[in-house]
Structure 1
Amino acid sequence: MTLTTPDEIAALFTRAGDYTFVRWGRPIVPVVFGVEESTLTILKGAIEAVVALAGHKMAEQDTELGANLMFFFIRDWDDLIGVPNLERLIDGLPDLVTRLKGADANQYRMFRFDDAGAIRAAFVFIRVDKDLAEVPAEDLALDQAVRIICLWGENAFPKGTLVKAGAHTVLDPSLAAVIRAAYDPVLPAVAKDASHALRLFARAQTMGVGDAPL
């Protein structure tokens, strides 16, 4: 991915034709269901790395929600129906499961927002189908961590979020610079005007990605 113009950055945050930039407004507290301990460690490490890149914070507990970033790894969408109390968190869960099955989707993200419009919680559902089962755990974890750090546009990553660097797979440097710029304290947590992309572009050009472990 090469982000060389403000329009290319604006496209990352365009939803249904409108520019919609939103980042987290509180420290991130993740919890993961449905994976082994080794995968849990990899996923939490990827989240910590992306949060550190952004200059944002993590915490042990969210005072309102306990955990505010929930990952669910499942084999079949119907498995969500059996998760205790999930229907209390996700309105219309049976209808959502029906839609995901009909679309043959393998992942879905749902965000909730605070009174100011910033992200207050996110729910990530991963159906580990044949395609995802072949993705290295480290790559899948880093990709998912990137996809929840902001509210991205529906067509933000046509070629994915990661690139090859020799024998390793890393976060696309251009995207890393945008993430770091997105969390510049000078910028608002929520922006609806595409002129915001100009400010992101300017900061992304001057803010290196440093030594973030990505």
Structure 2
Amino acid sequence: MQEMTPDRIEALFTSGGSFRFARWSGPMAPVAFGVDDATVATLRAGLSAVGTLIGRPLADADPELGANLMLFFCQDWDELREVPDLGRLVEGLEEILTRLKASEATQYRVFRFNAQGGIRACFVFLRMAGAMAYQPADELALTQAVQAALLWGEEAFAGRSPLGLLPDGRAVLRPEVAAVLASAYDPVLPDASEDAALALRLAARLPAE
């Protein structure tokens, strides 16, 4: 298990030199588009596992939005331009898709926040190309669940996946990632903060090695 020092934790929530932490203020109510029923079930299992870890069991619906965690799967970014009303849900969708296409990206997340800064919705865009197209569904589900559960920094998982493999080949959360997730949802902590000192509070809640 990699030691999660306050500096390492701070880096997980830093983008462009600025610290920003945000977690869901309520339960996630997921829905997936562009995949078959079997994949939907696998996605929900991964999301449910993370929801249980953080003490936010999945909901069937959000009172305000219906679904507040929407996952869109496509083969080409232009496909998302044809999704009815998606442009009304995601501000600047055309510009986002243009950038994703130009950079040949395979994933992108858009978060929406409540007045207190907590996460109230997340839109996940996945282009099934390259290595992602060959990733087992259970690994993909768990990875996306982790990345949607918190507002991670841009480089949080750039060099290393949040998952590890057991001897039997099963994918699981790396222990240090699971520990950070669990500590981030301590009820005493705020749903959002831009104070890097929060990293010290998160570190203090990690289990002793």
Task: Report the TM range for the smaller structure's normalisation.
Answer: over 0.9
User: Structure 2: which 5+ residue stretches go unaligned?
Assistant: none
Q: How far apart, CA to CA, are the structure 1 residues paired with 2:192 and 2:5?
A: 21
Asked whether the 8 Å contact 2:47–2:58 carries over to 1, the reply is no
Instruction: State whether structure 2 residue 98 is matched by structure 1 residue 98.
Output: yes
User: Which residue matches 2:162?
Assistant: 161
Correspondence list, 1:8-27, <5 A: 8-27=8-27
Equivalent of 2:182 in 165, 171, 180: 180
Asked whether the 8 Å contact 2:23–2:150 carries over to 1, the reply is yes
Q: How far apart, CA to CA, are the structure 1 residues paired with 2:124 and 2:72?
A: 6
Q: TM-score, normalised by structure 2?
A: 0.95
Q: How far apart, CA to CA, are the structure 1 residues paired with 2:92 and 2:193?
A: 29
Q: Give the count of matched residue pairs.
A: 207
Instruction: State whether structure 2 residue 44 is matched by structure 1 residue 55.
Output: no
User: Which residue matches 2:200?
Assistant: 198
Aligned Cα root-mean-square deviation (Å):
1.3
User: Structure 1: which 5+ residue stretches go unaligned?
Assistant: 209-214
Q: How far apart, CA to CA, are the structure 2 residues paired with 1:3 and 1:201?
A: 10
Q: How far apart, CA to CA, are the structure 2 residues paired with 1:50 and 1:191?
A: 22
Correspondence list, 1:120-139, <5 A: 120-139=120-139
Per mean C-alpha deviation after superposition, the further-off stretch among 136-145 and 197-206 is: 197-206
Q: How far apart, CA to CA, are the structure 2 residues paired with 1:74 and 1:25?
A: 29
Identity of aligned residues (%): 50
The 4+ residue runs of structure 1 with deviation greater than 2 A are: none
Q: TM-score, normalised by structure 1?
A: 0.93
Asked whether the 8 Å contact 1:3–1:9 carries over to 2, the reply is no
What's the secondary structure of 1:111's corresponding residue?
A: strand
Q: Could you tell me which amino acid in structure 2 is paired with residue 189 of structure 1?
A: D
Correspondence list, 1:101-120, <5 A: 101-120=101-120
Q: How far apart, CA to CA, are the structure 2 residues paired with 1:44 and 1:84?
A: 23
What's the secondary structure of 1:179's corresponding residue?
A: helix
Deviation at 1:60, TM superposition (A): 1.6
Per mean C-alpha deviation after superposition, the further-off stretch among 138-147 and 58-67 is: 58-67
